[in-house]
Amino acid sequence: MVKVNLAFIPSFHDEGWVFCFCVHGGSKNGMKIIFITGGARSGKSAFALLEASGRKGSKAYVATAEALDDEMKERIHKHKTGRGDDWDTYEEPLNIAGTLKDIKGNYKTILLDCLTLWLSNTLLKSQQPEESIEFFIDGLNSLNSVDGLHLYIVSNEVGMGIVPDNTLSRRFRDLAGTLNQRIAALADEVNLVIAGIPVKIK
């Protein structure tokens, strides 16, 4: 029996963000999406890596961070060291949809970390980040035919604090919140990590 869920999904069109109900199956063949979100230093990346590392078969890590300063270089180095030799690493700050398409048939497990950093890169380099979001969502849908692939997606919850004091930050917050909603609606499983403790919410 197929479990049917109703999802309230925001989507961007020419007239702005609109919302619609979407029916999708709770279980399906093909790719499985595991969405992991949480605040900064919540332990979400560590949890995603622990879960994904437990799977058998070939593994790929898609990193969206750019080493633009010494601090970020050190962060990236620590992440690489922590993953070990079981992972192939792909560094792609912008075209993650293209990267996933290129490598989808070569791995059983792919970990994308992180979605909000990709969004920040896109927002700073594009006048229309909404188009990049739609392209990414379409790319995820096209991966559904890959049987046995587990895709772990890490993101940040950025809307739980104070309202940002400038237009760019408020736009980023709004885009990130909407993007997280859309990924959560597509995902087979969603985990919220708080203070190092994962809570399965879907």
Residue numbers annotated as active site: 79
Distance CA 181, CA 46 (A): 22
Q: Do 34 and 151 touch, CB atoms closer than 8 A?
A: yes
Q: How many CB atoms lie within 10 A of CB 76?
A: 16
DSSP letter string, 135-152:
HHHHHHHHGGGSTT-EEE
Tokens linked to 150? 């587990």
Query: H-type helices in 25-152, by residue range?
Result: 44-53, 70-83, 96-103, 115-125, 129-142
Nearest C-alpha neighbor of 174 from the set 163, 187, 186: 163
Place of tokens 């792609």: 92
